[in-house]
Amino acid sequence: MIKKIVIAAVVIAVVAAGAYSNMNRTPSAQTVQTEAVELRELTAKVSGSGQIRPFKEIDISSNVMGRIEKLAVQEGEEVVAGQFLLRIDPVRYLSAVEQVQASIGSAETSVMLAQQNLEYARQVLDRRQGLYEQDLLAEEAYLDALQTVRREERTVQLREGDLDRLRAQLKQSEHDLAQVLFTSPLDGVITKLNIEEGETAITGTMNNPGTVLLTIADLSFIEAEIEIDETDIVDVEVGQPAEVRIDAFPDLVFAAEVIEVGRSPISAVRSTSQAVNFKVVVRVLEQVPGARPGLSCTADVITATRGTAVAVPIQALILREVQLDADGEAVELDPVAELLAEIDGKSAADPDAMEEVEGAFVMRDGQARFVAIEVGIAGERHFEVLSGIEEGDEVVTGPFDIIRSLTSGDRIEKAGRAGQAGAKASASVNLTFQ
């Protein structure tokens, strides 16, 4: 214990001597770069890359099988709604319609005959019923006439059922016949043509898709389908403005608007090394002549704006574990207390009061003062400051290696002062020699 007291006394004496020496000698200041805190207009953006897709795109497939008899369009051609595109050979389906029509004619005749037989059977029943009621006819003859009427009624029902079935079959055959003729369902451009005249169109099944004959896209307006990282997607909402840049038009920026925000990740399988992205669709609000589906693009979604905000440079912000006073500034530790704590194998700082905070060094009276900052939105080169720093404060922005080792209370000077002093001295010497 006595040894520690002696050592402490020696340390105090050394520190006191150093303090006395410092009173007569100004410590060297570190040269730093600074920037005045100003009111700025800030825009927070979230970026993503993806591809251009049409406002509306329709794949034309065939519901009937057959040879392409006539093809009237080419890939890249502009078409209007109702314009003739192609026709499948209709002979097979026209023949089916004619066959059903002939069967309907026969069925109608059968129905007519059955109705006549029914009418005759009812007349016979009426005569026999009168004789039977006068006891002039045996009961068996009356019952036989009654059974005949019932049988003819069922026959009429069956014939009418056959006729209804054939009429329904005719509708299906006429529908199939109508499917051999293809017209454009919208105004657009033929972006894909997957078949040639003379080839056979194949219909799809449950397990095998049919032939996509061609694709028509409405390019009057286009959309950009992009991917946004999971850390940024929470700030993206439908209706936010955006800016789209298409690689094929590097000098143009197109105004857009968010119309769709994915709620599920694009990748269903997530691993520890796999980034999770979400789909966002933005609609370009102006026409883009020459745009094609599949063009690469990037989009910046504007998530927030500030007309006038106290802004601090991004490079000035750092994370530090410090003890803060009531004003949010780092507490300077007593050097004597620090040395005594090191001798005792402890730290002079209160561990319960230490906390990791985000802040910046402010230049005050030639010294660096670490100030905790609450930040808002992030622009391209500045952060919005909600509290901690005010307009007019001068923050240290570099160099990075000095900021990393800087502590609150260190002496600093702005870069350029030494050079300015040297320039003034040189000018003075030149004037003297003149």
Residue 337 has what pLDDT? 47
Under DSSP, is residue 235 helix (H, G, I), strand (E, B) or coil? helix
pLDDT at 358 over 90: no
What is the reported pTM? 0.62
CATH number for the region 47-54+219-305 comes to 2.40.30.170
What is the pLDDT confidence band of residue 350, given thresholds at 50, 70 and 90?
Answer: low
pLDDT tens digits for range 225-270? 999 999 899 999 999 999 999 999 999 999 999 999 999 998 644 4
> In this predicted structure, what is the pLDDT of residue 415?
80
Higher pLDDT residue, 92 or 21? 92
Whether 26-42+310-419 shares its CATH topology with 47-54+219-305 is answered no
Q: In this structure, what DSSP letter does residue 103 have?
A: H
Residues 167-196 as b or e (16 or more Cβ within 10 Å = b): eebbeebbebbebbebebeebbbbbbbebe
Q: What is the pLDDT of residue 24?
A: 47
User: Which of 219, 226, 225, 241 minimizes the C-alpha distance to 287?
Assistant: 219
Question: Is omega for the bond preceding 351 within 30 degrees of 0, making it cis?
Answer: no
List the one residue out of 90, 95, 88, 80 whose CA is nearest residue 61: 88
Kindly tell me if the per-residue pLDDT of 6 is higher than 70.
no
The per-residue pLDDT for range 391-418, each reduced to its tens digit, is: 889 999 989 888 888 888 889 988 864 4
The mean of the pLDDT values for the chain is 82
What is the pLDDT at residue 324?
A: 65
Q: In CATH, what is the architecture of 26-42+310-419?
A: Beta Barrel (2.40)
pLDDT in tens, 260-288: 999 999 864 445 556 789 999 999 998 88
pLDDT of amino acid 330 = 56
Query: Would you place residue 107 in the very low, low, confident or very high pLDDT band (cuts 50, 70, 90)?
Result: very high
Q: Give the whole-angstrom CA distance, residue 48 versus residue 232.
A: 10
Which residues is 188 bridged to in the sheet? 79
- Give yes or no for residue 202 having a pLDDT over 70: yes
Q: What percent of the chain has pLDDT over 90?
A: 50
Pull the structure tokens for residue 37.
Answer: 């805190």
Burial of 375 from C-beta contacts in 10 A (0-12 / 13-18 / 19+): buried
Give the CA angle between residues 100, 101, 105 to the nearest 5°: 115
Mean pLDDT on 183-209:
84
Cα distances (angstroms) measured from residue 64 to each of 178, 276, 315: 10, 43, 66
Provide the terminal-to-terminal Cα distance of the chain, rounded to the nearest Å: 71
Q: For residue 192, list its beta bridge partners.
A: 215
DSSP letter for 411, please: B
Cβ atoms 42, 309 nearer than 8 A: yes
Residue 386's closest CA among 42, 45, 47?
Answer: 42
SS3 content of the chain, % helix, strand, coil (to 5): 35, 40, 30
Convert 206-231 to b/e letters by CB count within 10 Å (16 or more is b): eeeebbbbbbbbebeebbbbbbbeee
Name beta bridge partners: 383.
312, 378
> What is the identity of the amino acid at 193?
L
User: Residue 429: in which H helix or E strand, if any?
Assistant: helix 417-433
Nearest of 288, 286, 283, 278 to residue 299 by alpha carbon: 283
> What does the pLDDT look like over 289-307, one tens digit per residue?
888 889 999 999 999 999 8
> Domain boundaries in the chain?
26-42+310-419, 47-54+219-305, 91-174
Please say if the pLDDT value at position 11 is more than 60: no
How far is C-alpha 52 from the chain's CA centre? Answer: 12
**What's residue 174's pLDDT?**
95
